Every structure is written in structure tokens, then in C-alpha cells.
Amino acid sequence: MIDFDLVLKEIGYFGRYQLFLICAALWSMVPIACNLSGVVFLAYQAEHRCSVQGLDQIIEESNTSNQLKQLFIPKIDNSYSKCERFVYEFNGGQSNESFTERIKCSNRTKECLNATISAITNATKTADDCNGHYYYDRSVFKETITTEWNLVCQRESLSSLSTAIFCLGMLLGSVVGGNIADRYGRIRTMAVATALNAIVASCCSLSPNFLSFIIMRFIVGGSSIATLVAMSVYS
């Protein structure tokens, strides 16, 4: 068996070459760190409520916003519900979707409130879910996976699922990454895993649907930890 300490004594314990190797290896930690912490930004849950077709901007921007909101959004524990809305049924079977034509609120003035109250005076009010239509506060982030695919209310658990899938990829990468490095070499494993990580992580932003997103996050998780294992674990 080779005496490793004797080899180090002959070639030197630490020098410029070893420093170069450390710096060359550590740069790969930057994208790994970004991928690990990125879910905080990717899956940020913005303040939201049910969308009120034709009135969303008016509710948020007009002087009568609170009064209009009270007409369409139920209150739960002194705060507006994030997952329910009031649905009005008019004579003849018309519902909320007819408001845009019914009350003519384009001027965004107090007349909008009066017209709305007048329109719903004889309507029947019931609480219902948002039916997949939400209005988000985009003041912090313009778009996240939560706002793009409506991962709120009944679909809120899907946001946590994306993180679980990412961690599952890390688990697989930690199991096979070291074996691949031992078979094909650490440098090759790091190079391939880092390139795969960069390509797939970039493609995550172009995901057309939630399924493709979690598949790519799985690959990102696996390639991230495979890079780390090949770089730092001695087997």
C-alpha cells in the first residue's frame, strides 16, 4: 500500500497547484448554492385573492376599493379570504361574468361602486371557490411558479412537491455520484454534472407546465449533489 503521507512529503503538502485545484473546484459550488436556495424565490407565494372579472384593477386602484372588495370577497377572521369569492346569481341565470357589460366601470370612479350595488341588489349571493382564477400582488416578484401555475389554495401542496422532487434528485445524485466518479474519474464526473446542471437549470425558466418543471428540478438536484460528491468526498 502506498504511504500517502510519504508522497505528500515528497511533492509538498500545500502549494500554488493545490490552491489552483481548490479554486477551480469551488467555483462549481456557486450554482449549487443558487439551486439549493432558489426555491425561496421560485416558489414565493404572493398575496392573492379570487379574481373578480372586469373589476380587479378597479378594486385595487380606486378610492372605493375596500367597499368593492367587501361585495365580492368574504372575510375570514377579519381578513379577506384568499380562496373564496361571492358569486351573484341574477334573474335569468346570469352570474358574475356579466358584470363587465352590466355596470360599465371603465371610468374607475365612485359611480362604479354605485352601479355595482345597483346591479346586485336583487341578486342571490353565495360563497364559492376561485375556480382557478386569482389576482396576485406582483409588487415583490412579477412572476413565480406559484403565480404562473396557480399553486395556491387547493393546489398549494404542489409547491411543496416541487421541493420534495428536488430533494429526491439530490438523494439519487448522492447515491450514484460517488460511484460514477470512482469509475470514470472525478474531473469527468464534475465536468459532465456541472454542464448538465447549467443546461437544465437554465431550461427550468422555459418550462411550459408544472410537470416539466419538476422533472427538470429533479435533474438539477441530482447533478448538483453529484458535482459536490465528486469534488469533496474521498471513497
Which grid cell sits at 164?
Answer: 420534495
Interval 140-160: pLDDT, tens: 999 999 999 999 999 999 999
CA distances to 96, 124, 146, 150 from 155, rounded to whole Å, are 23, 28, 9, 7
Interval 80-120: pLDDT, tens: 889 988 887 765 555 555 554 555 555 555 566 666 666 67
Q: Taking the complete model, does pTM exceed 0.85, yes or no?
A: no
Interval 191-221: pLDDT, tens: 899 899 999 999 998 999 999 999 999 999 9
Residue 97 burial (10 A CB sphere; 0-12, 13-18, 19+): exposed
Interval 170-179: pLDDT, tens: 999 998 988 8
Would you say residue 187 has pLDDT above 80?
Answer: yes
Looking at every residue in the chain, the average pLDDT score rounds to 81
| Residue 201 three-state SS | helix
User: Percent of the chain, pLDDT > 70?
Assistant: 77
Q: How far is CA 118 from the centre of its chain?
A: 40
Phi-psi label, residue 220: left if phi above 0, alpha if psi -120 to 50, beta otherwise: alpha
Give me the residues paired with residue 88 across strands.
125
Give the residue from 169, 170, 193, 189 showing the smallest Cα distance to 181. Answer: 189
